[in-house]
Structure formats: structure tokens, C-alpha cells
Chains A and B, each alone.
Chain A
Amino acid sequence: MLKGKSAVVTGASRGIGRAIALELASQGANVAVNYAGSEERAQQVVEEIEQLGVKALKIQADVANESEVKEMIKKVTEEFGGLDILVNNAGITRDNLLMRMKEEEFDQVINTNLKGVFVCTKAVTRQMMKQKAGKIINVASIVGVAGNAGQANYVAAKAGVIGLTKTTAKELASRNILVNAVAPGFIATDMTDKLTEEQKKGMLDVIPLGKLGKPEDVAKVVRFLASDDSNYMTGQTIHIDGGMVM
């Protein structure tokens, strides 16, 4: 399905990013595993990808740092001979009530989760314009659509990602670069493990399917958006949330 394609997945050492990297690799894509801090886990993902018979690259880069990102994209393009798919997945949380949230906590989350998408997208555009083809998939969040108490920074960033997705889609449509987002709901990862029992119960009550999602549930939709099966879609945000927000 993605045989011979070249992909970069940011924040791919664990959670949803890891599942996406493995899913794309399982469909034949060569995958660059970007990570910020967890080198060991990134290495594991690289090894798992290589076992699938495709190429993998482990690359450390802070997605909000333009020079690091440029270097990363250059390396991937050279090693894989092009760049067809970018998955902007890297994200952090610094949850706090608005009244207690420090400016620094707000800035950090906006920087990684929103500016990081801008920086990475800008960095791949040149190559994709030359190829006259490309797929960019942004991992937003359902809270970016619906809001969530205690996550002002995260929600603002994710809502920003949805707007950025639409604008990038419009700007690059004429060059056949398709840009879509996924908005995962409550997916079982390290990030959701940090939520309190009370928060978890509250969320389960509002999920019509009555259960958490798995990283693979998100990865499969990303694989669809990365493939030629979604070639008449751009600027969309697909909810993967067990029916939470309709």
C-alpha cells in the first residue's frame, strides 16, 4: 500500500507515534523515527521497523527548532531518496487549571504541539513541491474540537493545529500536497495514564463506545490518510474517539 514511500513520524518513540511508525512500515514505507529524549525507546522502534523489512532511521530533533528540523528533513530525504509522508505527532502535556497555569507551561506546550507542526510542515514543503506530491497528517486531539478543563494550553495548541491543517491544505492543494488531521479521543498511552481516576471515569461516561481507544486505532486512520486511498481529501479532521464528539 505504501511500498517504497518515505515517511517521517515525529514523536515516534512511544504511544500513538510509535504505532503510526510501525503501521506505515508494515505497509512498506521506509520510516524515520523522530524523538526528543527517549533514545532507547526510539532505537526499539527502529529495530521493530527493520524487522518488517523496510528501512528505518532514528533521528533526534526538537520539532520546534527550525535548524534541527531542517537538518532532519535533509537527512531523511537523502537517505530515503525523497519524502512522501510527514506525520506531525510529537506532543507534550503540562496540564493545570487556567488559574494555576504558569506562562512557561503554556509556552512549552504551544511551542512543541503547535509551532512544531508549523516548523516541520514548512521544512518538508520544498521537497514535496518539487515532487508535486505529498501527504501531511497532523495529530490533533478531540479536545481541540470540544475543549477540556485543565488543558488550556494543550487545547489551544490542538485547536491551532486544526486551523493550521486547513490553511496548509488550501495553500498547497494546487501542488498536490494533501494535508489532513486526525483528532484522537481517549487513547490508552503514557499520556492518558497521567490522568486521574476521576478524569478517566468522567471521560468513559461520555464515550458512546464505552471504552478507550488503542494507538493502533489511530495509526490505521493515519495509514489511510497517507495512502492513495484518500487522494480526494484535504483539510479534514477525522475524529477517532469512540463517538465522543459528533
Chain B
Amino acid sequence: MADVFDRVKAIIVDRLDVEEEKVTLEASFKEDLEADSLDVVELVMELEDEFDMEIADEDAENINTVGDAVNYINGKQ
């Protein structure tokens, strides 16, 4: 769990250029991390590469917070 969260966090920090402490499980990409729609699409792409999985568009639409992403990845692995 922690491992996935750390990897996800690293990608978010790099991609969205935000402070590490802002990336909590509860943080919403759009509201708390100031990502726009395209940023989220890009993040999902990076997560797919990082974790070597495909995230369907319908599933991606339900990923709103960092925790959603972490849970999704954990559920698939």
C-alpha cells in the first residue's frame, strides 16, 4: 500500500509540480492539486506506464482523488 502511494505521489509531484505534503490520500486532483482535465488524463497515462496496466476511460472518470488512484491500482494488482 505504502509503496503504491509513494510511487503515485512521486509522479504527481513531478507532473503537477506541487509540494509533496499536499499530496495526501484525500487530496482531489482538480480542487486541491490544481490539475486541469488534461493534466488528469496525462496523470492516468503515466500511472498506466508506471504500473504497467490499462485504466479504462470509464474507470479513469471515477478517479478524483489521490486515494481513488491508489485504491484502483491496489485493486488491480
Q: Which residues of A contact B (CB under 8 A)?
A: 126, 129-130, 171, 174-175
Q: Is the CB of A175 within 8 A of B38?
A: yes
Q: Name the distance in Å between B46's Cβ and chain A's nearest Cβ.
A: 9
Query: Is chain B's binding surface mostly helix, strand, loop or mixed?
Result: helix
In the complex formed, the residue of B with least CB distance to A174 is B38
Q: Which residues of B contact A (CB under 8 A)?
A: 38, 42, 45
Q: Kindly state the separation between the CA atoms of A174 and B42 in the bound complex, as whole angstroms.
A: 12
Whose C-beta in chain A lies nearest to the C-beta of B46? Answer: A130
Q: Closest approach, in angstroms, between the C-beta of A137 and any C-beta of chain B?
A: 21
Give Cα A129–Cα B38 distance, bound, in whole angstroms.
Answer: 10
Chain B residues with CB under 8 A of A175: 38, 42
Chain B proximity of A176: nearest CB distance (Å): 12
Closest to B49 in A: A130
Chain B residue at smallest Cβ distance from A125: B41
A129 to B: closest C-beta gap in Å: 6
| Interchain CB contact under 8 A, A126 and B38 | no
Residues of B within 8 A of A171 (CB): 38
Complex-state Cα separation, A176 to B45, whole angstroms: 17
Q: Could you name 8 residue pairs across A and B whose Cβ atoms are closer than 8 Å? A: A126-B45, A129-B42, A129-B45, A130-B45, A171-B38, A174-B38, A175-B38, A175-B42
Chain B: which residue is nearest A171 at the CB level? B38
How far does the Cβ of B52 sit from chain A's closest Cβ, in whole Å?
15
The interface residues of chain A lying within 8 Å CB-to-CB of B38 are: 171, 174-175
Tell me the minimal C-beta distance from A175 to chain B in angstroms.
Answer: 7
**Cα A130 to Cα B42 with chains together (Å):** 8
Nearest chain-B residue to A172 (Cβ)? B38
**Cα distance, A130 to B45, chains bound together (Å):** 9
Assembled-state Cα–Cα distance A175/B42 (Å)? 10
Q: Provide the bound-state CA to CA distance between A129 and B15, in Å.
A: 12
B40 to chain A, nearest CB (A): 12
What is the CA–CA distance of A129 and B42 in the complex, to the nearest angstrom? Answer: 8
Which residue of chain A lies nearest to B37 when distances are taken between CB atoms in the complex?
A171
Q: Give the docked Cα–Cα distance between A171 and B38 (Å).
A: 8
How far does the Cβ of A230 sit from chain B's closest Cβ, in whole Å? Answer: 23
Residues of A within 8 A of B45 (CB): 126, 129-130
Rounded to whole Å, the gap between the CB of B49 and the closest CB of chain A is: 9
The distance from the CB of B56 to the nearest CB of chain A, in whole angstroms, is: 14
A130 nearest CB neighbor, chain B only = B45
| Nearest CB in chain A: distance from B65 CB, A | 23
Cα of A171 to Cα of B39 in the assembled complex, Å? 11
Q: Which residues of A contact B42 (CB under 8 A)?
A: 129, 175
Known: A129-B45, A174-B38. 6 other contacts (CB 8 A): A126-B45, A129-B42, A130-B45, A171-B38, A175-B38, A175-B42
- Nearest to A126 among chain B residues (CB) is B45
Q: How far is the CA of A86 from the CA of B38 in the complex (A)?
A: 20
